[in-house]
Amino acid sequence: MSLRFIDTHCHFDFPPFTGHEAESLALAAAAGVERIIVPSVSAAQFPQVLELACRFGAISPALGLHPLWVTGHLDAHLVQLEQQLAKPDSPVIALGETGLDLYMNDPHFARQEALLDGQLLLAKQYDLPLILHSRRTHDKLAMHLRRHNPGRGGVVHGFAGSYEQAKRFVDLGFHIGVGGTITYPRAAKTRDVIARLPADALLLETDAPDMPLNGWQGQPNRPERIAEVFQVLCTLRPGEPGQLAAQILNNSERLFRFPVTSI
């Protein structure tokens, strides 16, 4: 039985994919990746992400303002984001990538929080799931989510916190993104968390071209490598791989409102 995947987080609007989209999608499809969700990082990327989704049926767009680009985000960009979401024929399936980050030297954290709150309100207004970035901010991010209570939930991508923090997000209605981190044996804490969470809380992602897998350090990550992430996931969890793949595919389809495959 061939396994089917959705890469729920891939920056396909950046090199090495730019100008090589068709070949990259063919490689992904050969590995069982039938859909790729592309989250934007800034308003400047909105047109490119939307254009990719228009050109390629396997790409679904998400629009948001990433915390790492905080100094470039303007209040006008929130208005621009809302204008895109308000279009009757909007193809946008999620709001993101947004979130919080305290890994930077000068994080402008109050500004990050204001931008996040604005996007949480938009996600609630337009009934969209969220694609969330969080580094050293899991507890603070959970506080914002509790305060705004976005109804559609979403995914905390690239998760590397504790089991208790992951469970808090799951209890708030969010999924946990599983990516290349689990391919590193030294990432014992993250591997243990992913092993313990319920299967219906998990999504697969690559964060390509970032977050390279073990053995691929120094090379751009790619969406077809989600199959390798899944292989490692199967070593961390009991059960039959086909059933686990079907469950995770179903999680992705339901969250992002794709046609749902029964499991």
CATH code at position 236: 3.20.20.140
Helix (H) / strand (E) element for 23: namely: helix 21-30
Q: What is the pLDDT of residue 49?
A: 98
Evaluate whether residue 110 is within a structural domain.
yes
Tell me the C-alpha distance between 201 and 233, whole Å: 14
What amino acid is encoded at 27 in this protein?
L
Per the DSSP assignment, residues forming a β-bridge with 247 are: none
Q: What is the pLDDT of residue 261?
A: 75
Evaluate whether residue 263 is within a structural domain.
no
**Tens digits of residue pLDDT in 231-252:** 999 999 998 999 999 999 999 9
State how many domains the chain has: 1
Q: What is the pLDDT of residue 263?
A: 58
The 3-state DSSP class for residue 91 equals: coil
Over residues 36-59, mean pLDDT: 98
In the chain, the percentage of residues whose pLDDT exceeds 90 is 95
pTM for this one?
0.97
The answer on whether 108 is annotated among ligand-binding residues is no
The answer on whether 210 is annotated among ligand-binding residues is no
Over residues 118-128, mean pLDDT: 98
Evaluate whether residue 57 is within a structural domain.
yes
Mean pLDDT of all residues belonging to the chain: 97
Evaluate whether residue 261 is within a structural domain.
no
Evaluate whether residue 247 is within a structural domain.
yes
Evaluate whether residue 93 is within a structural domain.
yes
Q: What is the pLDDT of residue 230?
A: 98
The answer on whether 97 is annotated among ligand-binding residues is yes
Q: 1 falls in which pLDDT band (50, 70, 90)?
A: low
The two tokens of residue 242 are: 């086909």
The answer on whether 207 is annotated among ligand-binding residues is yes
The answer on whether 9 is annotated among ligand-binding residues is yes
Evaluate whether residue 140 is within a structural domain.
yes
**Domain span including residue 211:** 5-256
Cβ-Cβ contacts under 8 Å for 110 (sequence gap 6 or more): none
